[in-house]
Amino acid sequence: MDDDAVFKALADSSRRQLLDRLYERNGQTLSALCEDLEMSRQAVAKHLAILEEANLVSSEKHGREKLHFINAVPINGIAERWINKFERQHLSALSALKKALEDEDSH
Protein backbone atom coordinates (compact mmCIF):
# COMPACT_ATOMS: atom_id res chain seq x y z
CA MET A 1 0.00 0.00 0.00
CA ASP A 2 1.28 3.47 -0.91
CA ASP A 3 0.57 5.71 2.09
CA ASP A 4 1.67 8.80 0.16
CA ALA A 5 -0.92 8.18 -2.56
CA VAL A 6 -3.64 7.63 0.06
CA PHE A 7 -2.73 10.81 1.96
CA LYS A 8 -2.57 12.77 -1.33
CA ALA A 9 -5.98 11.46 -2.36
CA LEU A 10 -7.53 12.23 1.03
CA ALA A 11 -6.00 15.72 1.16
CA ASP A 12 -8.54 17.08 -1.34
CA SER A 13 -12.01 17.95 -0.05
CA SER A 14 -13.66 17.09 -3.39
CA ARG A 15 -12.23 13.58 -3.27
CA ARG A 16 -13.34 13.17 0.35
CA GLN A 17 -16.81 14.27 -0.75
CA LEU A 18 -16.82 11.59 -3.46
CA LEU A 19 -15.76 8.97 -0.91
CA ASP A 20 -18.57 10.14 1.39
CA ARG A 21 -21.05 9.76 -1.46
CA LEU A 22 -19.79 6.24 -2.19
CA TYR A 23 -19.94 5.39 1.50
CA GLU A 24 -23.60 6.48 1.57
CA ARG A 25 -24.44 4.51 -1.59
CA ASN A 26 -21.78 2.21 -2.97
CA GLY A 27 -21.69 1.22 -6.64
CA GLN A 28 -22.53 4.51 -8.36
CA THR A 29 -21.97 5.57 -11.96
CA LEU A 30 -20.03 8.69 -12.86
CA SER A 31 -23.31 10.42 -13.74
CA ALA A 32 -24.80 9.59 -10.34
CA LEU A 33 -21.68 10.83 -8.55
CA CYS A 34 -21.84 14.11 -10.51
CA GLU A 35 -25.42 14.87 -9.40
CA ASP A 36 -25.72 17.99 -7.24
CA LEU A 37 -21.98 18.67 -7.34
CA GLU A 38 -20.48 21.97 -8.40
CA MET A 39 -17.88 20.14 -10.48
CA SER A 40 -17.74 19.24 -14.12
CA ARG A 41 -18.03 15.63 -15.18
CA GLN A 42 -14.37 15.78 -16.28
CA ALA A 43 -13.27 17.04 -12.86
CA VAL A 44 -15.14 14.23 -11.10
CA ALA A 45 -13.56 11.70 -13.49
CA LYS A 46 -10.08 13.08 -12.70
CA HIS A 47 -10.74 12.88 -8.95
CA LEU A 48 -11.98 9.30 -9.34
CA ALA A 49 -8.79 8.41 -11.23
CA ILE A 50 -6.67 9.70 -8.32
CA LEU A 51 -8.82 7.75 -5.86
CA GLU A 52 -8.40 4.62 -8.00
CA GLU A 53 -4.61 5.13 -8.13
CA ALA A 54 -4.62 5.23 -4.32
CA ASN A 55 -6.76 2.06 -4.31
CA LEU A 56 -9.53 3.90 -2.44
CA VAL A 57 -12.02 3.31 -5.24
CA SER A 58 -12.45 0.43 -7.65
CA SER A 59 -14.67 0.23 -10.68
CA GLU A 60 -16.55 -2.53 -12.42
CA LYS A 61 -18.22 -2.63 -15.81
CA HIS A 62 -21.86 -3.73 -15.77
CA GLY A 63 -23.08 -3.72 -19.34
CA ARG A 64 -22.69 -0.16 -20.58
CA GLU A 65 -22.29 1.27 -17.10
CA LYS A 66 -19.13 1.61 -15.04
CA LEU A 67 -19.87 1.40 -11.31
CA HIS A 68 -17.56 2.84 -8.66
CA PHE A 69 -17.06 1.23 -5.26
CA ILE A 70 -15.28 2.45 -2.14
CA ASN A 71 -12.38 0.39 -0.82
CA ALA A 72 -11.84 1.08 2.88
CA VAL A 73 -8.78 -1.17 3.26
CA PRO A 74 -6.19 1.60 2.63
CA ILE A 75 -7.97 3.95 5.06
CA ASN A 76 -8.02 1.20 7.68
CA GLY A 77 -4.30 0.65 7.12
CA ILE A 78 -3.66 4.36 7.70
CA ALA A 79 -5.78 4.26 10.85
CA GLU A 80 -3.92 1.24 12.21
CA ARG A 81 -0.50 2.67 11.44
CA TRP A 82 -0.94 6.37 12.19
CA ILE A 83 -3.94 6.79 14.49
CA ASN A 84 -4.43 3.69 16.60
CA LYS A 85 -0.83 3.66 17.77
CA PHE A 86 -1.60 6.68 19.92
CA GLU A 87 -3.37 5.55 23.02
CA ARG A 88 -6.99 6.66 23.00
CA GLN A 89 -7.02 7.01 26.77
CA HIS A 90 -4.24 9.60 26.70
CA LEU A 91 -5.79 11.45 23.78
CA SER A 92 -9.18 11.49 25.52
CA ALA A 93 -7.61 12.90 28.68
CA LEU A 94 -5.79 15.61 26.72
CA SER A 95 -8.95 16.46 24.82
CA ALA A 96 -10.94 16.76 28.05
CA LEU A 97 -8.24 18.97 29.58
CA LYS A 98 -8.20 21.21 26.51
CA LYS A 99 -11.99 21.55 26.58
CA ALA A 100 -11.95 22.36 30.32
CA LEU A 101 -9.29 25.04 29.81
CA GLU A 102 -11.18 26.54 26.89
CA ASP A 103 -14.38 26.59 28.97
CA GLU A 104 -12.51 28.42 31.76
CA ASP A 105 -11.22 31.01 29.28
CA SER A 106 -14.70 31.69 27.95
CA HIS A 107 -16.06 32.54 31.44
- Write out pLDDT tens, residues 41-64: 999 999 999 999 999 999 999 999
- Domain parsing of the chain, residue ranges: 3-105
Distance CA 87, CA 81 (A): 12
Tell me the H-state helices in the chain.
Answer: 3-10, 13-24, 30-34, 41-53, 73-78, 88-106
pTM of the model: 0.76
Instruction: Encode pLDDT of 13-24 as tens digits.
Output: 999 999 999 999
Considering the domain 3-105, what is its CATH architecture? Answer: Orthogonal Bundle (1.10)
In angstroms, how far is CA 38 from the centroid of its own chain? 18
